Amino acid sequence: MSKFSALGFDIGSTTAKIVAVDETGKIIWQYIENTEPKIEEQVENLLKKVKKEVGDTLNIPVVATGYGRNLVLQANRKVTEITCHAKGIFKAVGHGGTLVDIGGQDSKVIIISDKGKVVDFTMNDKCAAGTGRFLENTAERMKIPVENIGKLSIESPDEVNISSTCTVFAESEIISMLAHGEGIAPILKGLHRGLISRVVGMIRSVGLVPPLMLSGGVVKNDAIRKMLSESTKQTVIVPEYPQLMGAYGAALIALKE
């Protein structure tokens, strides 16, 4: 029976993730829900849930990451997503390389050494166009469930070019395309292409070190993985829990405390 030994929080802009690990660093419990505006209260409730479902949190080390990390008052330490993602993926897949993490409001590319250390990283600039929110916004605007947009894109033989690199402007561009009779699926395919081209630009800026790995909530969308693989001509490795790499890394850091 493994022992509940450490807890990692990843309070992202879109979802809050928690991972509990045992003394060997194995994930024994995990939970994801949407991030709420009152993060302190949400963390309180999440801890109650941990107590109920995993065990007493007294003397359990906690590390928090993500944009909301400073609001996790119970955390022994706050660590950035870059460090946590690198730790998480390295343990999960057992090797270094280039990790692309596409989150709700930021995307990042992290170069990880064969010892699991961060060697270099880059993040999207002051714009959400290379992130999950970009796709989410558009899906909502087109009234298509976000879970379906990847499938529709893959199946579409046609593709239109979306020139806007800004989430807000892309939305107006899409409305105008719809008004001109463009089909939904080709537009979606173009949107995915737009996101991938920004991510590939980020990979280039730090220099790809194979193998290529992908994490973040957007991984649930098959088109992203497929297009990233096509654009980089690399096999894309996805960990078992792609959305949890930040929280997992945080839990692993907590375990070492």
Partner 1 sequence: MSLISEIKYRLTVDVVGPSYLKWERRKMTKAIETFKPKNDYSAPPLKISAWTKELISKHYFRGRYVEGHEPVAWVTSGGPVEPLKALGYFVIYPENHAALSGARHAQLELMGEAEDAGYSRDICSYARTDIGAALSGKTPVGKLPKPDLLVACSNICQTVLYWYRVLEKHFNVPLVIIDTPFVYDEAPPHVIEYVQKQLENELIPTAERVAKKSFSEKKFKQVVQYSKEASELWLEVLNTGKNRPTPISIFDQFIHMAPIVEMRGDAITIDYYGAMLKELNERVKNGIGAINNEKKRLLWDNLPIWYKLRSFAEDLGKYGVTLPASTYTYAWGELAPMIDIDRGMESMARIYTYPILNRSTGHKLDTMRSMVKDFSMDGVILHSDRSCKPYSIGQMSQRSKLMDEFGVPALLLEADHNDPRAFSDEQAAQRMESFIEMLGVDDE
Binding footprint of partner 1 on the chain (CB under 8 A): 67, 79-83, 106, 117-123, 125-126, 205, 207
Q: 119 vs 184, which CB is nearer to partner 1?
A: 119
Q: CB 83 → partner 1: shortest distance, Å?
A: 4
Which SS3 state, helix, strand or coil, does residue 118 take?
strand
Angstrom distances, CA of residue 132 to CA of 71, 167, 246: 23, 10, 16
Q: 110 vs 224, which CB is nearer to partner 1?
A: 110
CA–CA separation, 203 vs 157, rounded Å? 27
Q: 120 vs 182, which CB is nearer to partner 1?
A: 120
Q: Running DSSP on this structure, what letter comes out for residue 231?
A: H
Q: CB 109 → partner 1: shortest distance, Å?
A: 12
Q: 188 vs 255, which CB is nearer to partner 1?
A: 255
CA–CA separation, 49 vs 54, rounded Å? 8
Q: CB 92 → partner 1: shortest distance, Å?
A: 19
Q: 123 vs 154, which CB is nearer to partner 1?
A: 123
Residue type, 251: A
Q: CB 118 → partner 1: shortest distance, Å?
A: 4
Q: CB 183 → partner 1: shortest distance, Å?
A: 36
Alpha-helical regions (H) of the chain: 39-53, 81-93, 132-141, 149-155, 167-179, 184-206, 222-232, 245-256
